[in-house]
Amino acid sequence: MAETTYLEAIRQAMFEEMERDLSVFLIGEDVGLYGGAFKTSAGLLEKFGPERVVDTPISEIAIIGAASGAALMGMRPIAEMQFIDFITCGYDMLVNFTATNRYLYGRACPIVVRGPAGAGTHGGPFHSLSPEAMFMNRPGLKIVSPGTAYDAKGLLKAAIRDDDPVLFIEHKYLYRRVKEELPAEDYIVPIGKAKLRRRGKDLTIITWGAMIYVADEAADALAADGVSVEIIDLRSIIPFDEEAVLESVARTNRVIILHEAPLTGGAGAEFAARIAEKAFDYLDAPIKRVASLDTPTPYSPPLEAAWLPNKDKVVAAARELLAY
């Protein structure tokens, strides 16, 4: 069986869901004739036509607004942000209208807002955002961030079938770098369920998205010194698998929370607080966060590399905890 890239897994998920359900359609900038800025929708226009693969003007608030209205009328739109950074232009519609519908009216609003996120591709401050923390404090939205091709396909299918709005954060650094064999049969990855990526006994790293590979590198480096690291890939940020997190902390007694967004106000702060509230008695050292620096993303490749979390930063944090 041929290996499937992370990008192709996303395209397959949209293709299969559009074939399965006539209410599913794709809307966004350049998603049709051009096939998407990164070619995630290549071939969809030819298969499904312009009524289900809809090119739009450059207006994210219009894209999210049109998709939300269609969702309230029984459709299941996938709204693409050409870069996830530009979701800020549709923030008002998404958090004040789309997210509140279930609470206000009891009506499902099954919209998926997806797009390329993250740094590592020298995109500078306007094309490198990791936006999860911006939306965590708005009840009504679900947020997922897959790190593997399997999870990208399974989570996108689950998001499309979900009756609540889902923010689907796909890391563009992974698009063509990550490959794996995918099942031929239909499958989904449940939203809200973490994955135990690596079992260990000395320290837990909680992470998601592209940072799972940084965690892998750090765990391998520490293993050379006899340190056993457990890695929890959250996959879903809201809702998140609190049970898996707390069980892991209870096993290892030390925890690092690793994420790509800047440290201050990042999603890791919420997970740290939850662990402190509910698993304090299990901790043998303070909770440690490893994240990007509190600046806009640099454009310069050497500066961007210094800005991002990496293996050495995680290993250093782990050694601090192990020596505490």
What secondary structure letter does DSSP report for 191? T
Tokens representing 196 are 């135990």
Reference 120, options 111, 129, 112; nearest CA is 129
What secondary structure letter does DSSP report for 297? P
Q: In what order do the strands lie in the sheet with 112-117?
A: 53-55, 24-28, 76-80, 112-117, 166-171, 142-144, 236-238
What secondary structure letter does DSSP report for 53? E
Q: Which of 122, 127, 171, 259 is catalytic?
A: 127
Put residue 322 in one of left, alpha, beta given phi > 0 → left and psi -120 to 50 → alpha: alpha
What secondary structure letter does DSSP report for 163? S
Contact at 8 Å (CB) between 141 and 91?
no
Q: What angle in degrees, to the nearest 10, is found between the helix axes of 242-252 and 267-278? A: 60
127 among known catalytic residues: yes
Classify each residue of 35-51 as buried b or exposed e, where b means 16 or more C-beta atoms within 10 Å of its C-beta.
bbbbebbbebbeebeee
Contact at 8 Å (CB) between 101 and 125?
no
3-state SS, one letter per residue, for 144-158: ECCCCHHHHHHHHHH
> Could you check whether the bond before residue 296 is cis, i.e. omega within 30 degrees of 0?
no
Phi and psi torsions of 134, nearest 5°: -65, -20
What residues are labeled active site? 127
